[in-house]
Amino acid sequence: MKVTITVNGSQVAAEVADRTLLVHFLRDVANLTATNVGCDSTSCGACTVLMKGAGEAGGGKSVKSCTVLAAQADGSEVTTVEGLADGTGEMHPVQAAFHAEHGLQCGFCTPGMVMAAVSLLAENPSPTEDEVRTALEGNLCRCTGYHNIVRAVLAAAPAVSERRVG
Amino acid sequence: MSILGTRVVRTEDPRLLTVGGTYVDDLRLPELADAARVTFVRSPMAHAKITGMDTDAARQAPGVLAVLTIQDMDDLTPPPPPEPGSEVSEGAPLPIGGLWSEPLLAIDRVRYVGEPVAMVITSDSYQGEDAAELVSIDYEPLPAVIGVGGALDTPTLLFDGTDSNVPVDSGEAADDAIFQGCDAVAERTIVNQRLAPMPLEGRAAAARFADGKLTYWVSTQNAQISRFILAGALGMDPGSIRVITPDVGGGFGAKVGIDRDAILVAWAARKTGRALRWVETRSENLVGMTHGRAQEQTIKIGGTNDGRVLAYRLDVVQDTGAYPRMSGFLPFLTKLMAVGPYDIANVQTKSRVVVTNTTPISAYRGAGRPEATAAIERAMDLFAAEIGMDPAEVRRKNLIPPDKFPYSTPTGATYDTGDYVTALDKVLAASGYAGLRAEQARRREQGDVLQLGIGVASYVEITAADAAAGETARLAVHGDGTATVYTGSSAHGQGHHTAWAMLVESELGIPMANVTVIHGDTDLIPEGVGTYASRSLQLGGVAVHKAALEVKEQARRVAADMLEAAEADLELDTGRGAWQVRGDPGTGRSWADVATHAGADGLTAYVQFTGGGATFPFGTHVAVVEVDTETGKVRLIRHVTADDAGTVVNPVLAEGQRHGGIAQGVAQALLEEMLYDADGNPLTGTLADYAAITATELPSFELVNSETPTDINPLGVKGIGEAGTIGATPATQNAVIDAVSHLGIRHIDMPATPSRVWAAISDAPGGQGGSGGQGGQTKGAAR
């Protein structure tokens, strides 16, 4: 079937098998390989991206792209970690905070973790530590023990709020 | 001021954060443009004879290019016949071979669920999953051998021609004489359960065979070792194999070298003439990648009523899974480190290795040492409970005092440096230990539903145990003043690129931004070992440091020539990266100037550093848990640690290693376990079942600094990669038991799941159930 998805602001249209998962559309059709597959049971969150249906407001909601068919995303806007930085190449405040706080090691969970954090801060601009931990429960990291990820999200919160206002 | 010891954020991160890493599945190289997909057909049976295979339907399925079975493996030399008397030593991490050999593809028998039986090669991965379902294999079930007890007490043998399921028995005898004269003795059989290493990226490999040369991309901790494994398995000259490690999404010991699945990808590429790529699914990973731990331990400890431990015995039975890939290496390390950080005069150890119809066991973060620490730290608490003394006090009375180093243990290790008592006291102070005990007493007094548990674990571990194998570094300073480091070490999240660049900047004054670090390509770096056993900084880092010193002396000679001055009169101003006549900045010559004057390859050093020895990091962890006595639910509320790994080069990286290790240690104590049913079916074969630890189950960690340099290497550094796991597991387990110890409970096996804790409380003499059973008996399914 023909699927058209706006990925990071660019329209990508392709004929794909009906069963094609959104994550494979992103990786193999749009050729954006940052979004990773870490499990086959919707448990790990490595594939988390933001998805916004036609006519919806805001920056989109986080979805696990291994559990969304490309067909279900037809006509929607999807943002991956590659589309997070602004045009100047400046990192998004969440990306910058992960860097500053050493919120990543091997990097495999990172794109999904960053997108989950962006989604959290859009919904809750000043979360507590407990709220951050709860929000990231669906994203597994095997390297950091989550300590610095949580610190990074908390550190990013003010800058994300400022950016939204500005 | 040197950059060493300062907080430097990673140079690796911007790429990983903005466009993502390039893992094997992400490679979009021209050489792999037409790469087909490999899908394994794996055994669904734990133990069975293969009586027939039909691949016709699969061959005709859409997109199928080939189906390969053992029948196609006519281009490999079969393994040599067993040679009596040529046993591999238990201290060598090598397969035993012989009668216990592991084939690449199953021949006529399968021995664990997940064992590779056939390979389907298709244009895309969806087709592969479909076609693999169409491969029809007839199995005649055999009785499954599950668990240590199952392996020892069964007429069923896994390997023909053997007379037991015990490939290695250390043969050491127990002698109770060492416990004579003890006022108090405690003995217990405890379980160090089977875990899945579970790096977020599973195993993956891609291979292309062209013009007699194999190019092989693989997710491994060791490019060079992988090359030799491939050469041996495929009968090739190592020189005709190029191994490249792109980004690697975590390893934790389970990606040391390569295993049979990954070797098969290279074999199939040669066999079919196609470029191939294999990226395992998580469900494959949880049964196909090696597991870790899996020991049953019997501990016996005795001492005086005033808290001095006089004797300790550790008897280990290592479940090695279906094939003894590591020989007796893991229990060998467990026995070596059995006595921990304590000065105990009489120590006995014994080990046996058993095969079972489960996924093979190999290294997992700590590899034998967390098991040793878990045993002695449980034993110390059992002894403390026996004599009614505070667990921290018992430890203080028995820790090796600082004036006894280097310290030779009864088990044959020589601890280099340490100040164990200070580390203990620092952590007790930071945790507010006395206050925690007072709060615990208050809750007990009031009969609170949420009881407080405080767990203490002191440890010493061994890092770079194979220091003699060394590590390589090549450093070149170029005409534009930049430098390139080629390291034999291998990064998969630790931050080698940042740390190695810091070492160069510190010695040469070339800014980190101008230092490129390259690893994991055997054409560029033919010799190297890679990363395991917390060896990288103390071997690979020291090699870089020494290469920098060599380049510095080369540059001194060149600069002397340029400035027409005596070498002894020259100095390097590392602040601005310039050579000058001592005290005369006006004479300064930049690295670009000096390297240009030296000409091509003028400033290049190659170091194979083998001068180090094993080092022994140490520390103490305090875990604080709340246990809901009505539900058995445990919550870790604080975790305080001192982990002393000698001099710290970059606190950001060292803390990150500690954090990750603590989380994995807590995960073992509270949550994670690979379970099998009695027929050998994995019960935790997906991430929906395997309880990988999440952010909600952990607090932020409280890290206390402690740096006691080693004199084993010139940087004074020890390894930090595994300390967190080693200390956190017993501290957390001890905390859980401590929370309910007033009910008469002395032990609860890991993981301390709500059902297990609740059962212990119910069965305890002072618990709610009062059924008369003994607290802490192991419940649940077989391991």
- Token pair, residue A153, equals 């999200």
**Closest Cβ opposite residue B18 in set A46, A95, A141:** A95
| Beta-carbon count within 10 A of B521 CB | 17
Is there a contact between B136 and B61 (Cβ–Cβ < 8 Å)?
Answer: no
> To which residue do tokens 């074999």 refer?
B267
- The residue type of B559 is A
| Beta-carbon count within 10 A of B123 CB | 15
How many angstroms from the chain centroid is the CA of residue A104? 15
- The residue type of B296 is E
Query: In chain B, what residues touch A97 (CB-CB under 8 Å)?
Result: none
Query: In chain A, what residues touch B250 (CB-CB under 8 Å)?
Result: 105-106, 108, 142-143
Tell me whether residues B200 and A44 touch, CB distance under 8 A: yes
Angle between helices A147-165 and A93-100 (to 10 degrees): 150
N- to C-terminal Cα separation, chain B = 54
- For residue A165, what pLDDT band results from cuts at 50, 70 and 90? low
The pLDDT, as a whole number, for residue B172 is: 83
**What are the backbone angles phi and psi of residue B166, rounded to the nearest 5°?**
-115, 90
Q: What pLDDT, in 10s, does the model give residues B588-631?
A: 999 999 999 999 888 999 999 998 899 999 999 999 999 999 99
**Closest Cβ opposite residue B694 in set A85, A140, A147:** A140
| Beta-carbon count within 10 A of B239 CB | 12
- Cβ neighbors of B429 (< 8 A, separation 6 or more) are none
The enclosing H or E element of B423 equals helix B420-431
Class of domain B292-463+614-763: alpha beta
Query: What does R_g of chain A's alpha carbons equal in angstroms?
Result: 15
The pLDDT, as a whole number, for residue B766 is: 74
> To which residue do tokens 């001890």 refer?
B734
> To which residue do tokens 């479909």 refer?
B130
Q: What pLDDT, in 10s, does the model give residues A64-122?
A: 999 999 999 999 999 999 999 877 879 999 999 999 999 999 999 999 999 999 999 99
**Closest Cβ opposite residue B200 in set A35, A140, A147:** A140
Smallest CA-to-CA distance from B415 within B617, B147, B221, B690 is with: B617
Is there a contact between B294 and B318 (Cβ–Cβ < 8 Å)?
Answer: yes
Smallest CA-to-CA distance from B17 within A103, A155, A65 is with: A103
- Cβ neighbors of B562 (< 8 A, separation 6 or more) are B579, B589, B593, B594, B597
Is there a contact between B214 and B236 (Cβ–Cβ < 8 Å)?
Answer: yes
- Token pair, residue B19, equals 């466009």
The pLDDT, as a whole number, for residue B78 is: 65
Asked whether the predicted pLDDT for residue B502 surpasses 90, the reply is yes
- The residue type of B735 is A
**Closest Cβ opposite residue B656 in set A19, A105, A139:** A105
The pLDDT, as a whole number, for residue B91 is: 73
Task: Please give the residue of chain A at the shortest CA–CA distance from B661.
Answer: A145
Is there a contact between A145 and B493 (Cβ–Cβ < 8 Å)?
Answer: no
| Beta-carbon count within 10 A of B60 CB | 10
Task: State how far the alpha carbon of A137 is from the alpha carbons of A58, A89, B144, B352, in Å.
Answer: 23, 30, 37, 40
The pLDDT, as a whole number, for residue A75 is: 97
Task: Please give the residue of chain B at the shortest CA–CA distance from A85.
Answer: B18
Query: In chain B, what residues touch A33 (CB-CB under 8 Å)?
Result: 20, 22, 25-26, 28
Q: Does A136 touch chain B (CB under 8 A)?
A: yes
The distance of B280 to chain A (nearest Cα, Å) reads 10
Domain B292-463+614-763 in the same topology as domain B25-143+206-288:
no
DSSP state of B695: G
Interface test with B, best of A31, A49, A106 (most B CBs within 10 A): A106
Return residues 16-55 of A near B (CB < 8 Å): 17, 19, 27, 31, 33-44, 46
Task: Please give the residue of chain A at the shortest CA–CA distance from B198.
Answer: A142
The distance of B742 to chain A (nearest Cα, Å) reads 31
Is there a contact between B577 and B511 (Cβ–Cβ < 8 Å)?
Answer: yes
Task: Please give the residue of chain A at the shortest CA–CA distance from B19.
Answer: A82
**Closest Cβ opposite residue A146 in set B283, B495, B698:** B698
Tell me whether residues A43 and B20 touch, CB distance under 8 A: no
Smallest CA-to-CA distance from A70 within A121, A41, A38, A35 is with: A35
Q: What pLDDT, in 10s, does the model give residues B672-689?
A: 999 999 999 999 999 999
Rounded Cα distance between B657 and B641, Å, is 13
**Domain range summary for chain B, segments of one domain joined by +:** 25-143+206-288, 292-463+614-763, 467-609
> To which residue do tokens 């919904």 refer?
A123
The distance of A126 to chain B (nearest Cα, Å) reads 18
**Closest Cβ opposite residue B23 in set A41, A108, A137:** A108
The helix/strand/coil state of B696 is helix
Is there a contact between B496 and B471 (Cβ–Cβ < 8 Å)?
Answer: no
Q: What pLDDT, in 10s, does the model give residues B695-716?
A: 999 999 999 999 999 999 999 9
Rounded Cα distance between B39 and B736, Å, is 43
Rounded Cα distance between B256 and B532, Å, is 7
Task: Please give the residue of chain B at the shortest CA–CA distance from A147.
Answer: B700
Q: What pLDDT, in 10s, does the model give residues B133-173?
A: 999 999 999 999 999 999 999 999 999 999 999 999 998 88
The pLDDT, as a whole number, for residue B457 is: 98
Interface test with B, best of A21, A69, A94, A143 (most B CBs within 10 A): A143
ipTM for the predicted complex comes to 0.98
Tell me whether residues A106 and B248 touch, CB distance under 8 A: yes
Tell me whether residues A43 and B687 touch, CB distance under 8 A: yes
Query: In chain B, what residues touch A137 (CB-CB under 8 Å)?
Result: 694-696
- The residue type of A24 is H
State percent of chain B over pLDDT 90: 93
Angle between helices B433-446 and B420-431 (to 10 degrees): 50
Tell me whether residues B701 and A35 touch, CB distance under 8 A: no
Asked whether the predicted pLDDT for residue B359 surpasses 60, the reply is yes
Rounded Cα distance between B572 and B567, Å, is 11
Q: Is B127 exposed, middle or buried (0-12, 13-18, 19+ CB in 10 A)?
A: buried
Q: What is the DSSP string of B519-558?
A: ESBTTT--S---S-TT-IIIIIIHHHHHHHHHHHHHHHHH
DSSP state of B318: E
Query: In chain A, what residues touch B664 (CB-CB under 8 Å)?
Result: 142, 145
B25-143+206-288 under CATH 3.90.1170.50, yes or no: yes
The distance of B403 to chain A (nearest Cα, Å) reads 35
B559 or B768, greater pLDDT? B559
Q: What angle (nearest 5°) sits at the alpha carbon of residue A91, between those of residues A85 and A94? A: 95
**Closest Cβ opposite residue A106 in set B17, B19, B492:** B492
Instruction: Domains for chain A: give ranges and CATH numbers.
Output: 2-82 (3.10.20.30), 93-165 (1.10.150.120)
The distance of B619 to chain A (nearest Cα, Å) reads 19
Task: State how far the alpha carbon of A165 is from the alpha carbons of A158, B409, B750, in Å.
Answer: 11, 64, 49
**Closest Cβ opposite residue A106 in set B250, B283, B692:** B250
The average confidence (pLDDT) of chain A is 96
Q: What pLDDT, in 10s, does the model give residues B328-342?
A: 899 999 999 999 999
Sheet bearing B276-279, strands edge to edge: B64-68, B116-122, B36-42, B276-279, B204-210, B213-218, B241-244
The pLDDT, as a whole number, for residue B296 is: 98
**Closest Cβ opposite residue A150 in set B652, B692, B695:** B695
> To which residue do tokens 């059709």 refer?
A29
Query: In chain A, what residues touch B20 (CB-CB under 8 Å)?
Result: 33-36, 81-82, 107, 110-111
- For residue B771, what pLDDT band results from cuts at 50, 70 and 90? very low
The pLDDT, as a whole number, for residue B783 is: 40
- Token pair, residue B664, equals 């994995």
The pLDDT, as a whole number, for residue B30 is: 97
Task: State how far the alpha carbon of B164 is from the alpha carbons of B80, B157, B678, in Å.
Answer: 22, 6, 20
Asked whether the predicted pLDDT for residue A131 surpasses 70, the reply is yes
- Token pair, residue A145, equals 């023990």
- For residue B769, what pLDDT band results from cuts at 50, 70 and 90? low
Interface test with B, best of A27, A29, A39, A67 (most B CBs within 10 A): A39
- For residue B86, what pLDDT band results from cuts at 50, 70 and 90? low
What is the widest separation between alpha-carbon atoms in chain B?
A: 91
| Beta-carbon count within 10 A of B306 CB | 9
CATH of domain B467-609: 3.30.365.10
The distance of A49 to chain B (nearest Cα, Å) reads 13
The pLDDT, as a whole number, for residue B684 is: 98
Q: Which residues pair with B516 in a beta bridge?
A: B484
Task: State how far the alpha carbon of B704 is from the alpha carbons of A152, B422, B674, in Å.
Answer: 21, 11, 33
Query: In chain A, what residues touch B21 (CB-CB under 8 Å)?
Result: 34, 106-108, 110
Smallest CA-to-CA distance from A148 within B692, B660, B499, B502 is with: B660
The average confidence (pLDDT) of chain B is 95
Asked whether the predicted pLDDT for residue B777 surpasses 70, the reply is no
What is the Cβ-side half-sphere exposure of residue B320, based on CA atoms within 13 angstroms? 31
- Token pair, residue B642, equals 């001192």
The pLDDT, as a whole number, for residue B612 is: 80
Return residues 50-89 of A near B (CB < 8 Å): 81-82, 84-85
Q: What angle (nearest 5°) sits at the alpha carbon of residue B129, between those of residues B125 and B131? A: 110
Asked whether the predicted pLDDT for residue B778 surpasses 70, the reply is no
Query: In chain B, what residues touch A139 (CB-CB under 8 Å)?
Result: 694-695
Asked whether the predicted pLDDT for residue B88 surpasses 90, the reply is no
- For residue B718, what pLDDT band results from cuts at 50, 70 and 90? very high
Query: In chain B, what residues touch A107 (CB-CB under 8 Å)?
Result: 12-13, 16-17, 20-21, 247, 249, 493
Q: What pLDDT, in 10s, does the model give residues B372-427?
A: 999 999 999 999 999 999 999 999 999 999 999 999 999 999 999 999 999 999 99
Q: What pLDDT, in 10s, does the model give residues B249-292?
A: 999 999 999 999 999 999 999 999 999 999 999 999 999 999 99
pTM, rounded to two decimals: 0.96
The helix/strand/coil state of B54 is strand
Interval B447-475 mean pLDDT: 97
What is the Cβ-side half-sphere exposure of residue B713, based on CA atoms within 13 angstroms? 34
Q: What pLDDT, in 10s, does the model give residues B171-181?
A: 888 899 999 99
**Closest Cβ opposite residue A147 in set B126, B283, B700:** B700
**Closest Cβ opposite residue A134 in set B22, B494, B696:** B696
The pLDDT, as a whole number, for residue A155 is: 98
Q: What angle (nearest 5°) sits at the alpha carbon of residue B645, between those of residues B487 and B459? A: 130
Is beta strand B168-169 parallel, antiparallel or unpaired with respect to B346-354? antiparallel
Q: What pLDDT, in 10s, does the model give residues B505-541?
A: 999 999 999 999 999 999 999 999 999 999 999 999 9
Tell me whether residues A41 and B688 touch, CB distance under 8 A: yes
Tell me whether residues B656 and A39 touch, CB distance under 8 A: no
The distance of B681 to chain A (nearest Cα, Å) reads 19
State percent of chain B over pLDDT 70: 96
The pLDDT, as a whole number, for residue B780 is: 37
